[in-house]
Amino acid sequence: MNKLSLGLLGVCLLLSGPAMAELNAVDKGYVDQLIKGGPGTLRQVAENIYNSGNTNPELLDVVAEVLLEKYPLAGEEFSAVDSVAWMCRALGNSGNNRYKAVIDKVADDKAVHRKLRGHCAKASKQLPKGATNAYLAGTVNLELLRNPPPPPPPPAAPAKGKKNAKTAKPAAAPVPAAAAAAPAPAAAAPKTVDFSLVRVGMSQQEVNDLLGPPTGQSQRMTGKQWQPFNYGAKDLQRMVYLYKGVGRIEFSLKSAYEGVFRVITVTPNPGETGYP
């Protein structure tokens, strides 16, 4: 590798390293899905960021770069258009005008699908004008995130001198047969339930991935099932996750058309029994 290549690699590491260092476990999971996922995954992650009101600029920088990469390839394919539209909505919902120029670039591109331009134009209106620190394409190196350089090799063991080479090693004591048998592998430690990772707006699947299955759960219909003017079919059902000794998390079926339960309240309670 020549000096120029080494220099470019160093710049890429400087750009991506500090940003990644500021991400918590949830946001790192989002980044991994953003840089590796297809349209369905991108849509789900962007929707989760939007619904949870996540405003972490280190994460949103990755969203902006993926948006710039994916939108020219969306074409007329519904899932691709939908995923990019949700990325625009997530950036617009942040309230950070750092991303206004990125959203406007998509909204003003006449080659882009009409629906996508409309969603991005609407997202842009949520952001104030006059960004002093506008996001620039290439700030996040997606290729480096997808293919990080291998770790450096471990240091070589020091060479032994002649004196050490002549020293005979003492014979190892015979190992008793009982001790020679490999011990049975220990059972995996239970997953730690950390409510601080959960945000309002997260999907049920996200909570499952972060915390593992609950000790118990319950589900019920709400009175909105019978409201004739609930055109969005919102909040028709509620679900509660109970974690023994930790607390409970309540979800709402935000829309029957979406079919996803999302967090509406997180209630820590060390005295939670775990039974409905």
Evaluate if residue 86 carries a pLDDT over 90: yes
Give the start-end residues of each E strand in the chain. 216-221, 237-243, 247-253, 261-268
pLDDT score for 167: 55
pLDDT score for 182: 57
Q: Directed axis angle between helix 100-107 and helix 114-124, to 10°?
A: 150
pLDDT tens by residue, 59-71:
999 999 999 999 9
Mean pLDDT, the chain, integer:
83
pLDDT tens by residue, 239-266:
999 999 999 999 999 887 778 899 999 9
Evaluate if residue 208 carries a pLDDT over 90: yes
Q: pTM of the prediction?
A: 0.66
Evaluate if residue 4 carries a pLDDT over 50: no
pLDDT score for 255: 80
Mean pLDDT of 121-128: 94
Mean pLDDT of 13-29: 65
pLDDT score for 132: 79
Q: Is 90 helix (H, G, I), strand (E, B) or coil?
A: helix
Q: Is 221 helix (H, G, I), strand (E, B) or coil?
A: strand
Quick one: pLDDT band at residue 49, thresholds 50, 70, 90? very high
Q: Report yes or no: 247 and 263 within 8 Å, Cβ to Cβ.
A: no
Q: Report yes or no: 239 and 204 within 8 Å, Cβ to Cβ.
A: yes
pLDDT tens by residue, 156-204:
877 666 555 555 565 565 655 555 555 655 555 556 889 999 999 999 9
Give me the residue spans of the domains in the chain.
11-143, 195-268
Q: Dihedral sign, CA of 18, 57, 195, 260?
A: negative
Which percentage of the chain shows pLDDT scores above 90?
52
Q: Which of 116-120, 130-134, 239-243 has the lowest mean pLDDT?
A: 130-134
